[in-house]
Amino acid sequence: MKIGILGATGLAGKSITRQVVAGKTGKAMLLGRNRARLELLREELLPEAASLPDIAVIDLKKQESLKRAFEKIDILVIAVSSAEHLPAVVRAALDTKTDCLDILLCSKAKRDFLASMRTMFEKLGLCYITDGGYHPGVPAAMARWAETLCPGLRSVDIFGSFGLKWQKNSVTHETLLDFMRELKAMDMSVLQDREWLSSWKHVKRFDFRDGRGKQDCAAMGMDEIQLLTGVIPTLKNAGFYIAGFGRPIDWAFMPLSLAALHLFPKTERHVARFFRWGLERFGPDTEWAILHCTAQGDTGSIEIAASYPDPYAFTALPVIACLKQYADTPRRPGLWHQALYVEPERFWLDLQVMGVKITCSTNPKA
Ligand SMILES: NC(=O)c1ccc[n+]([C@@H]2O[C@H](COP(=O)([O-])OP(=O)(O)OC[C@H]3O[C@@H](n4cnc5c(N)ncnc54)[C@H](OP(=O)(O)O)[C@@H]3O)[C@@H](O)[C@H]2O)c1
């Protein structure tokens, strides 16, 4: 299987590429806008590569350049900064019958666009997997695994926390801008008694038992969590909650930046720079990524925790686990979410084999 990675030179793209070239699944083709950066990446990868990956320089505004590259691959992993150019990418993917998996943030623009393409994917037999990566990407797969181990779940809460050394991991300005826009539009919906409700009060304190003590975690509405009621019919309460970036960011830089974005939307580039400075100056000096699921239901309760020391590797590994299933199960055309596309037991087993630390404890009802 030939896997194209669009945005291979980015932090997430590099991490995914590293896993692919290390022989985890298929052969890699690096797609990007800058030949020098792509060649530098290929050189970096040489010592760990089972075979030298191909390179394709693309221009997201030029259909021909996309189609030329897509003709040489089976599936495209989309790891660019934002969904801005997604319509052009999807058009070329449809023309060349190239399946796709994106790890982009689940924004309204992306959701609306993909929903409008759903029938086309089905009609033309294209498999499009959206919301790949770690979050989005893993939380609903965690809930689905919990349901297989402890059927009849009524409540599921999933908590996430990650730390990144922002000085070392310099995301592009486009990615940070997209992140700020999503933060501004953040939906804080949770399922309460079978009803989706949004409120800024949806904050829970949670102890990840990682030595950092209890942390405030804010609800973050994600499509994959909303879709859970379709696969766990007993579900009455559910939510995904994300821990903050640390006090200086959560209490000063974040509210100031959000206020500025609302009051002076035209200054978003400056606000993003200010926020980046805050992250680099006051953000964490260690790295981690944890997801923790706590669920209760008819047959008992269950807790699952998954962690990995490097957040970008924790973004890449679920993509690889999903691609493994894509590669050796019959093609399923249509629009999927990674967390709902995967068969959960195998997904979790593969993640564990790839080094993700997973603990699971069940407490069956007497
Ligand atoms: N689901 C998850 O768990 C998860 C986790 C982390 C990130 N993400 C998402 O993954 C994406 C990448 O994040 P990141 O942190 O890796 O960002 P990043 O380091 O800033 O990388 C962005 C990549 O996009 C490329 N790019 C941006 N604009 C482009 C354009 N117009 N044409 C061609 N290439 C373009 C950049 O190319 P250059 O190198 O040429 O600048 C770079 O390769 C973002 O959408 C982010 O939200 C998802």
87 in any annotated domain: yes
pLDDT at residue 23, as a whole number: 77
Average pLDDT over every residue of 172-194: 91
Give the pLDDT band of residue 207 (cuts 50, 70, 90): very high
Q: Cα–Cα distance between 313 and 16 in angstroms, integer? A: 8
Q: Cα(first)–Cα(last) distance of the chain, in Å?
A: 48
- For the cut 80, the answer to whether the pLDDT of residue 51 exceeds it is no
- 116 lies in the same domain as 158: no
For the chain, the domain total comes to 2
143 in any annotated domain: yes
pLDDT at residue 315, as a whole number: 98
- For the cut 80, the answer to whether the pLDDT of residue 50 exceeds it is no
Q: Cα–Cα distance between 230 and 238 in angstroms, integer? A: 13
The closest alpha carbon to 318, from 160, 169, 163, 190, belongs to: 160
- For the cut 80, the answer to whether the pLDDT of residue 6 exceeds it is yes
Could you give the percent of the chain with pLDDT greater than 70? 100
Amino acid (1-letter code) at residue 154: R
- 156 lies in the same domain as 201: yes
- 161 lies in the same domain as 216: yes
226 in any annotated domain: yes
Domain limits for position 299: 139-313+357-364
Q: Cα–Cα distance between 176 and 364 in angstroms, integer? A: 44
Give the pLDDT band of residue 170 (cuts 50, 70, 90): confident
pLDDT one-digit tens code per residue, 80-121: 999 999 999 999 999 999 999 999 998 999 999 999 999 999
- 193 lies in the same domain as 205: yes
pLDDT one-digit tens code per residue, 283-340: 988 999 999 999 999 999 999 999 999 999 999 999 999 999 999 999 999 999 999 9
352 in any annotated domain: no
- 145 lies in the same domain as 237: yes
Q: Cα–Cα distance between 25 and 240 in angstroms, integer? A: 30
Separation of CA 255 and ligand 1 centre (Å): 25
- 144 lies in the same domain as 293: yes
- For the cut 80, the answer to whether the pLDDT of residue 24 exceeds it is no
Separation of CA 10 and ligand 1 centre (Å): 5
CB atoms within 10 A of CB 167: 11
Q: What CATH number did the domain enclosing 147 receive?
A: 3.30.360.10
Average pLDDT over every residue of 171-175: 90
Give the pLDDT band of residue 34 (cuts 50, 70, 90): very high
pLDDT at residue 85, as a whole number: 96
Buried b (16+ CB within 10 A) or exposed e, 99-127: bbbbbbbbbebbeeebeebeeebeeeebb
Average pLDDT over every residue of 257-268: 91
pLDDT at residue 63, as a whole number: 97
- 304 lies in the same domain as 156: yes
- 265 lies in the same domain as 299: yes
Which own/partner contact pairs does 273-280 have at CB distance under 8 Å and 24+ positions apart? 273/173, 275/176, 275/180, 276/166, 276/176, 278/248, 278/249, 278/252, 278/253, 279/166, 279/245, 279/249, 279/253, 280/166, 280/167
- 75 lies in the same domain as 49: yes
Report the atom number in ligand 1 closest to the C-alpha of 172. Answer: 20
The closest alpha carbon to 169, from 276, 314, 274, 81, belongs to: 276
pLDDT one-digit tens code per residue, 122-160: 999 999 999 999 999 999 999 999 999 999 999 999 999
H runs (alpha helix) in the chain: 11-21, 35-45, 63-70, 86-96, 108-124, 139-149, 173-184, 223-226, 228-231, 247-248, 254-263, 268-282, 311-328, 338-341, 344-353
Give the pLDDT band of residue 351 (cuts 50, 70, 90): very high
3-state SS of 183-244 is HHCCCCEEEECCEEEECCCCEEEEECCCCCCEEEEEECCCHHHHCHHHHCCCCCEEEEEEEC
- 104 lies in the same domain as 177: no
pLDDT at residue 294, as a whole number: 98
pLDDT at residue 52, as a whole number: 81
The closest alpha carbon to 15, from 307, 350, 310, belongs to: 310
pLDDT at residue 153, as a whole number: 98
Q: Ligand 1, residues 39, 110, 172: which to mutate, most atoms within 8 A of Cβ?
A: 172
pLDDT at residue 69, as a whole number: 98
214 in any annotated domain: yes
181 in any annotated domain: yes
351 in any annotated domain: no
Asked if 158 and 240 touch (Cβ cutoff 8 Å), the reply is: yes
Separation of CA 321 and ligand 1 centre (Å): 20
Q: Ligand 1, residues 11, 31, 167, 175: which to mutate, most atoms within 8 A of Cβ?
A: 175
Q: Cα–Cα distance between 325 and 141 in angstroms, integer? A: 14
pLDDT at residue 47, as a whole number: 85
Could you tell me which residues come within 8 angstroms of residue 35 by beta carbon, excluding any fewer than 6 positions away?
55, 57
Average pLDDT over every residue of 45-62: 90
39 in any annotated domain: yes
pLDDT one-digit tens code per residue, 61-85: 999 999 999 999 999 999 999 999 9
Ligand 1: residues with CB < 6 A are 7, 9-13, 32-34, 37, 60, 79-82, 103-105, 133-137, 171-172, 174-175, 315
- 193 lies in the same domain as 114: no
Average pLDDT over every residue of 193-201: 94
